[in-house]
Chain A
Amino acid sequence: MSTATAPAPVEEQPPFRPGLIARSIAAFSGTPGFVIKIVLLGLTNALAVWAAVVLVDTSRWIALGILVAATALIDFVYLVPRQWAIPLKFLIPGTVFLIAFEIVPILYTIEVAFSNYSTGHIASKADAIKQIKINSLEAPANGKQYEIAPARDANGKLVLILHVDGASAVYVGTKKGLSPLSKSDVKLDENGIPAAAKGYTLIKGAELFTLDRQLQGFDIPTTGDAAIEPQGVHQAVELQPTLRYDPAHDRFVRIRDGLVYANNGRGSFAAVNHPRDELEPGWKAYIGAANFKKLATSPLYRNPFLRVFIWTLAYATLTVLLSFALGLFIAIALDKKGLRGQRLYRSALVIPYAMPGFLSLLVWGGLLNDQFGVVNRTLLAPFGLHVPWLFDANWARVSVIMVSVWLTTPYFFLVSMGALQSIPAELTEAARVDGGAGWAVFRRVTLPLLLVAVAPLMIASFAFNFNNFNNIFLLTGGGPCSGTSSVACSTDILISYSYKLAIASGKGNDYGLASTVGIVIFFIVASISAFGFWRSKSLENLR
């Protein structure tokens, strides 16, 4: 104790030598740093110019304004030396990434939750109408198919030379209609495609594909609504529409019988007398809180919710508590000074944490296989035991928790090890001197101090495990299913349950419903975490 208070002997200060990191940073000041800065800024600006071209192309003026302002701000901050701009140099990159990777996805999730974005409803309304028209085309009763060759007539105007598929008749087609040609004037290749025609110059080679836009609109009218439409550069088909769009009433009318498909306000044109008969594709539309209502009222979603919720809570809580207990136990055991091979033990213990979770989960799935897995076959068989690890509901729950604990323990081991070393030895020594037994000292001194540091991490780990999709999906896939539905099986947690609901059910992908469940889960996790942090604050008063 006395040495600490004694005045330190005055020594000659050695010349200042910055550390390795400081020196490597310093190497970037001066010309290399300037070059790097200019290149990075140049890249940013070039990207902005490119983005501006795209935005002008699509007439998004508000976005363009934001882009220009942001780019100008970035350039100013990094180029013009001003005292007040220096903190911004550090703030701007962080803010940009915060907006790009946190705020935008959150806003997008909220937006999607209030829409019907799902299979059959991903297009814009204009695209959907266009596609319905294309899909409604039908070959008329005696409609023909043609082999075609685009050609130019004597005046250089685009025409089509047509040959009836499977017959011998040949025609020349303009936007006005068909006129027959003499068979002897047209030569056909082995596929029946016109190869030469008297009086016309066939368009060949590279020029052919530059006609794309012209060919798309090159419809040769035949009888009634029907027209011959080119499909590619070598085929044309006679088609007639079966539906007519009526923009005044925003509806489709079936030409055959006048059946009306009205806009149902939920992103589809549906038959008025049969609302389930919808035209495909529909479009993405805002449907208010309908997804939330569906989640709350539909028995398919509501009934298993509580059961899944309780299991999710149990899964996350048990994983965190058991991992913490085990990690702390190991950390205390290895905390002994002078233990041999301490580094080796520590490295070995971190392996589950360092290995990619995907890999270890799949390996565990193999290890726990009922009949062929190492656990049953090699470890348990000699004792005459056989555990249906993944095939019995309760055992599957045990397996899932066991593997999660295996994956999470190293984290708590590392955290506890650090936290233990930060607890002053004087405190525990003083407690011992006061006559505390080992357990009492641990419980009343070490643990509370440890929890101050570790409790927030436990809450974070809880939130992580609450949504630990990988562990469940890769190990059991949510199974085994014993109830009436494969949507919520015995080890499904909320996130895997919502995945099954939204991504692998109904007509395919229901992103709207998935986002809704995501928001609900967010509120559950947020309120539990908030409660946890509020409780852990009381721990901090210990300090």
Chain B
Amino acid sequence: MTTRARSKESREPDARGSGARPQQARLVSPRMERQLMQNSLTRMWALLGAIAALAAILVSTATAAHKAVTIVIWTDSDRAAAVTKVANDWATTNGATIKVVTKNFGDIRDNLGTVAAADAPDVITAAHDWTGQLAANGLVQPLYPSKAVRSQFPSYTLNAFSYGTAVKKLYGIPAAVENIGLVVNTKLAKTPTTFKQLETEALAQKKKAHLSFGIAVQQGSGGDAYHMYPFFSGLGGYIFGTNKAGNLDPSDIGVASPTLIKNSGLINKWNKEGLINSVVDGAAAQNAFLKGQAAFWITGPWNSDTLKKSGLSFKVIQMPAIVKPSVPFLGVQGFMVTKYADAHGVGSAATDLVTNFFASPSAQTQLAAANGRPPANVKAKSNDPVLAQFSAASKGGVPMPNIPQMNSVWGDLGQAWVKSTKGAGATPAAVAFKTAARAIADKIG
């Protein structure tokens, strides 16, 4: 009480002394304040100078980007160097500038829908199975390469990039292809020509190496419908049928096709004998093969360097047919022109870069090599023997469906495999796949 009263007293003379402005709230001394008042003109000029300089820089960079023909390309880190080099080869002869922006591969698709028009790319690196989603969102432009260019690509690679419910259009130029194959450790097993042989060899090795599975194919608790597709297609399953116009039909779901259900007893048999086991995830499958325990590994060209370095003697083949050919999913990566290119005034330049230059054999060789995949252009030769074996394993393969409804399939189809091949207590395959088919149909609605 006393201290408070005293402090109040001590303040009062000050407050009276300085007139209207109470002294006690003052943060600067009167001398400094005077100085500041004198400086206020100087500071206004300093501020104005700083604003002018910075605004000039910002506005000039923004407008400079508008004036010259600058093509913005979004690509992933693996390909960034190759894309920069190839695109600049084209740009220097054509008086354009290239700006390459590196993104996570999946972010290219996701960010394209939300990016501000000013920052948007004119050209993107894309996977073919994004085509439906990007085209349905109106984000990419149809392309019309000449007959000469089209004839250099296998027709499935162009189909993979084509989409349209009414009129089917090509939205991307393929650059590289990928698919999984069956890698055989030729020291541990003979290269099988029939599925029966594969089964016998795998089970013999399983027993010898005390493994819990015969074929190293990755699933894990989340499932992996992509790596299981050779088994799925070999048993007569399919994802979407095609309608009369030749388009994928999301209402025709073949996850529980009659052929698959008829042959689903085989899955139960494989589960019982331990040919495949859903406990095996990516790391486990890779380890088992590289350590020389598993004789068979299902993987793709992204592991070709790992395989070469492993020192194992191996061969890559397509998995032998089960009741139908055990074909893999085909993936195609390539380049698309976005709807922003026209707005940026570089539509024709971007179209030219993609349809003519990126499609050329020499560009394709460089672009595909940067990512360790075989090039899509048949005239562009990859002389990598392992990649050639993976290419050969693609025979008859099915491009991953590129319609957006595919989003509803991955999880459920993967889970059907997880449930039916988890060893003891597994769900009968017929039930698991029928459940998955119903859930997918529900989600697509």
Contact = CB atoms under 8 A, between A and B. Distances in A.
Interface of A: 34, 38-39, 41-43, 45-47, 49-50, 53-54, 75, 79-81, 83, 86, 119-120, 122-123, 127-128, 131-132, 134-138, 145, 147, 165-166, 191-192, 205-213, 215-216, 230-235, 237, 242-243, 277, 279-281, 300, 366, 369-372, 390-391, 396, 476-477, 479-482, 484-487, 489, 500, 504-509
Contact of B27 (A86, A234, A242, A489): A86
Interface stretch (B72-80, B160-168, B390-398): B160-168
Interface in B14-54: 21, 25-28, 33, 36-37, 40, 43-44, 46-47, 49-51, 53-54
A486 B411 contact: yes
B36 A508 contact: no
A201 B8 CA distance: 92
Select the residue from B55, B144, B212, B350 with max chain A CB neighbours within 10 A.
B144
Interface in B410-437: 410-412, 415, 418-419, 422, 435-436
A374 to B, nearest CB: 13
A208 B94 contact: yes
A123 B114 CA distance: 10
A49 B58 contact: yes
B47 A120 contact: no
A507 B144 contact: no
Given A50-B58, A507-B404, A300 B113 contact: no
A213 B50 CA distance: 37
Contacts of A235: 144-146, 351, 355-356
Given A42-B50, A300-B443, A371 B279 contact: yes
Contacts of A507: 133, 136, 404-405, 407-408, 444
A50 B55 contact: yes
A209 B353 CA distance: 11
Given A145-B144, A369-B281, 19 more contacts: A34-B43, A42-B54, A46-B58, A49-B55, A81-B28, A81-B33, A131-B339, A166-B148, A213-B345, A216-B347, A231-B144, A232-B356, A235-B351, A476-B221, A480-B419, A481-B418, A485-B443, A489-B415, A505-B443
20 contacts: A49-B51, A53-B62, A75-B47, A81-B40, A119-B137, A122-B114, A134-B142, A135-B167, A165-B146, A231-B143, A235-B146, A280-B138, A371-B280, A391-B279, A396-B221, A485-B412, A500-B411, A504-B408, A506-B405, A507-B444
Interface in B39-98: 40, 43-44, 46-47, 49-51, 53-55, 57-59, 62, 69, 94-96
Given A242-B166, A371-B212, A507-B405, A215 B348 contact: yes
Contacts of A277: 165
B203 interface: no
A120 B136 contact: yes
A137 B55 contact: no
Nearest to B54: A46
A205 B355 CA distance: 18
- 4 tightest A-B contacts by CB? A206-B95, A42-B50, A46-B54, A232-B351
B99 to A, nearest CB: 15
B443 A209 contact: no
Contact of B221 (A81, A86, A477): A477
A479 to B, nearest CB: 5
B443 to A, nearest CB: 5
Interface residues of B, number: 90
B327 interface: no
B400 interface: no
Given A41-B47, A42-B47, A123 B137 contact: yes
A86 B42 CA distance: 21
A213 B419 CA distance: 57
Chief secondary structure at chain B's binding surface: helix
A120 B164 contact: no
B103 interface: no
A484 B94 contact: no
Select the residue from A45, A122, A370 with max chain B CB neighbours within 10 A.
A370
Given A209-B346, A506-B405, A81 B279 contact: no
B44 A242 contact: no
B249 interface: no
Given A46-B58, A135-B169, A231-B355, A165 B404 contact: no
Contacts of A479: 221-223, 415, 418
A212 B348 contact: yes
Contacts of A487: 439, 443
A207 B348 CA distance: 12
A391 B408 contact: no
B221 A391 contact: yes
A243 B280 CA distance: 52
B135 interface: yes
A231 B142 CA distance: 9
B63 to A, nearest CB: 9
A122 B142 contact: no
Given A42-B54, A235-B146, A280 B165 contact: yes
Interface of B: 21, 25-28, 33, 36-37, 40, 43-44, 46-47, 49-51, 53-55, 57-59, 62, 69, 94-96, 113-114, 118, 133, 135-139, 141-148, 164-167, 169, 212, 221-223, 279-281, 283-284, 287, 339, 342, 345-352, 355-356, 404-405, 407-408, 410-412, 415, 418-419, 422, 435-436, 438-439, 442-445
Contacts of B419: 480-482
B436 A486 contact: yes
A474 to B, nearest CB: 10
A81 B183 CA distance: 76
A136 B166 CA distance: 7
Contact of B411 (A49, A372, A391, A504): A504
B138 A281 contact: yes
A54 B118 CA distance: 10
Given A46-B58, A209-B69, A486 B284 contact: no
Given A131-B138, A233-B349, A508-B407, A209 B96 contact: yes
B131 to A, nearest CB: 12
Contacts of B95: 205-209
Contacts of B436: 486
B283 A45 contact: no
Contacts of B62: 50, 53
A506 B58 contact: no
Contacts of B167: 135-138, 242
B202 to A, nearest CB: 17
Contact of B69 (A206, A369, A391, A482): A206
Contacts of B284: 369, 371-372
B221 A504 contact: no
Contact of A79 (B44, B147, B442): B44
B333 to A, nearest CB: 19
Select the residue from A79, A212, A484 with max chain B CB neighbours within 10 A.
A212
Contacts of B53: 42, 46
Contacts of A137: 142, 167
Given A135-B169, A280-B135, A42 B352 contact: no
Contacts of B139: 122
Contacts of A215: 348
Contacts of B223: 479
Nearest to B407: A508
Contacts of A86: 27
Contacts of A45: 47, 50-51, 54-55
Contacts of B438: 484
A135 B57 CA distance: 40
B161 to A, nearest CB: 15
Select the residue from B33, B36, B281 with max chain A CB neighbours within 10 A.
B281
B221 A506 contact: no
B44 A49 contact: no
Contacts of A231: 143-144, 348, 351, 355
Contacts of A476: 221
B43 A120 contact: no
A500 B222 CA distance: 13
